Every structure is written in C-alpha cells, then in structure tokens.
Amino acid sequence: MIEPISGFSKLQKQEKISWLAQTYLKDSPEASNILEQYWNPKKELQQLHEEFTENTISNYYLPFGIAPNFLINEKRYAIPMAIEESSVIAAASKAAKFWGENGGFQAKVINTQKIGQVHFMFEGNPEKLQRFFDQVKSTLLSSVSHLTKNMEKRGGGVLDIELKDKSAALENYFQLHCTFETKDSMGANFINTCLEKFAETLKSEAEKYTEFTPEEKDLEIVMSILSNYVPECIVRAEVSCPVENLDSPEMSGIAFAEKFVQAVKIAEIEKYRAVTHNKGIMNGIDAVVLATGNDFRAIEAGIHAYASKDGNYTSLTHASVENGIFRFWMEIPLALGTVGGLTSLHPLSKVALEILQKPSAQDLMKIVAVAGLAQNYAAVKSLITTGIQQGHMKMHLMNILNQMNASGEEKAALAAHFKTNTVTHRAVEEALQNLRNS
C-alpha cells in the first residue's frame, strides 16, 4: 500500500518528479528524462506555463497547425488549430478550399447573452418572496455597480435578474436567474463575482425584510455560479451552392447532395450516430478554442446540452436541397473571449489571435462555428463517398510508422507505397518488414 504524501505542493519541481519516480515509476530514468525533456529551455516561459495550474512537473505538447483558405463573410482567414488527431486539419482545409470556390462560409451572431444563477432555499410563501424580490431588485443591481463599471464602459454588464420558483422540482428551491453581456471577455470571473455579491445582498436584505417570518428571513444560499449552458449566446454558420457544383468522381452533384442530406437526417433521429456526428463537429471547434486559449471543456458541455435542448440528443448540423440549391448549416451556443484569461497570457494563444487578425469575441464565435461546420462537411462527405478510413488512415500512417521506429528513409518509401495501397496497421507492419528484409 502506497502511503499518502503530505506537503506535495510545497516541493520543488525536481523533488516532485523524484517522488513520482520512486513511488510510481519504479525509479525509471527514462520517464524522468521524458518529463524534463518537455521543459521549455527559456526559464521565464517555463515559469509562465507552470503558473497556469498547480503541481506542474512538465508541459504536455499538442501540434499547433493551420487550416488555410477559409472565406468567411467575404474575408479570408487561416485558422490555427491545436489538435493531435490525424486528418482533422487536412479535412478542414480541403472543405475550406472547396467552399472558398463556391461562395464561402456565411456566419452571423444571433445573440451573446450569458447566464449565471444564485441557487437558494426558502421555506415560506412564494408570493411573499416574489414581492420581496420586486422590492429589492434595484438594490441587487446597485450592489454590483462598482464591479460592472468598467464592463459597462465596453457596452456590457448585468442585463437582468429574474426570480425563478423551482420548488415543484425540488422542495423549497428558488434561484436568481441572471443574464449578462461580457463583450470580448468570456466573463466567467466577472459573472461569478457579481453573483456572489447578489447572494450576499439577497441574504442581508432578507434579514431586514419586515414581512418575512424569522424562518423566511433565514433563507439559505446554496451556491452562486455561472452556467456553461448559454442557449442565448448563439452563432449560425452556413454554406450553400447549386447541386451541380458538388459533382465528384464518386457521384453526380444531385446524387451527392441527396445522400448527404440523408446522412444528416440519420444523425438528427439516431442518437448513436448523432454523438459521433457531433464529435466530428467538435474536432474542428475544440481545436480552434484550444489554440486561442479558451475553455474547450465549457464549450463542449454547453454545445452537447444544446444538442439535447428539445428532449432528445440530435445532430447540431442540418442540410437540405431545395430548387437545385444545396444548403448546410448549424446554430450553436459559443461563449468565447479574446481578452483576459489564458488568451492574454499564453504566448501561442496570443499568436493565434494575431493570425486571426485580432478578432472580437463575436468574430471568434463565427470563425469557431465555421471550423466546426467545415470539419463536419468533410467528415460526412468522406462517409458517403470513399469511406472515413481511406483518408484518415493515410494521415495516420506516420503515427503507425513512428510506433514502429521507422527511419526517415523508411517513412519516405512507405509513404510512396501507400499512396496506392490501403493503410491498415497490419499492412504497414508487413510492408515495413518487407522493406527491411530487402
């Protein structure tokens, strides 16, 4: 039985690694060396990375790539992506090239409201609580004026506070449902700070409210926190073209369009397909969110909740063919920032935003949505034509060869060989062995 360690956070980085090596890595010098190899040689940069989180012992690298040739609202972009999965950037780039020659992507932000809630328990008359809330609402808003001053100068702030009675679902449960506009900031810290002040003010005002009984005055604040479900912070991305523009070696344009629509409709009604369908969308979205220093976990949670908003998990994208025009579109919630947080701290995130021509938060919403739509278009196209594995496995070839410790010459020879042969792990293994034997 391994004994717990006390004071781990106070150890120096090298001491943490030594303890891990002795306790969990069987004193493996290889593991320790790998951890140290990923330290940044520039001490200032390494320290910056270590201060992003706690108990840092190394850095975990992901490839930082570029998908060029995106035409969005008549403006050209090269989109940075941080992702390790083979074929994602290649597929997005291919989709961008095609749609760049067919009218480009259209994107617009429909709304940008974000949500935060104060959750509390109240044992008393709901009608009396509503009268109390109506009376103190202005006091709640004024209590955060010192916090919202700078945000209001940028056109943001607290938009509204509502009292919601949730006691039918959970006894005595109520909430302050608050809407915010945070402009170019994602706004999590701003929202949470305001919510905690609302909670403090709600509690203190309840204690002074003369209509409340002693039990009612003692309302219990459970928690105050923003929500990553933002169904009122919506962006729409869309492409369209005449069906004849979709002609390919595999099938005619009309046949392609009709089969594409059928594939999307399957994802709309079949949960098992919808999850994988939407995962492909998130390949594009997460890669850009991560590259720009935004919170991909919050984005994932909010988008998947939105896919279930009508009670069934369904496709985020939709497609149609009408009057000879193929349309493919998506509406998703995206709460993103271009100032504050990691976007202003991580050097690569700052470079990513420079590459994107210093977008506003709304511009970044459009870019991220387009990246997801492009990735989904490329994935569905592969599925209904050549199959997903042909392109994916060719991109995966280098990963397989690296696992087999292939040399540079061997990689070049086998890359040429598999231009005309199907890539499987077994086929690569055999081809590499044949090459070495010869």
Q: Which residues are catalytic?
A: 85, 279, 295, 392
What single-letter amino acid sits at 35?
L
Strand ranges of the sheet holding 114-121, from the earlier edge strand across to the other edge: 157-165, 173-181, 114-121, 220-226
Q: Which residues pair with 66 in a beta bridge?
A: 80
CB 327 within 8 A of CB 241: no
Nearby residues of 6 by Cβ (< 8 Å), 6 or more positions away: none
CA–CA separation, 133 and 139 (whole Å): 10
Q: How far apart are CA 145 and CA 134, in angstroms?
A: 19
Contact between 46 and 39 under an 8 Å Cβ cutoff? The reply is yes
CA torsion sign, 197 to 200 to 205 to 211?
A: positive
C-alpha 362/C-alpha 107 separation (Å) is 10
Q: Which of 287, 307, 282, 240 shows the shortest CA–CA distance to 372?
A: 282
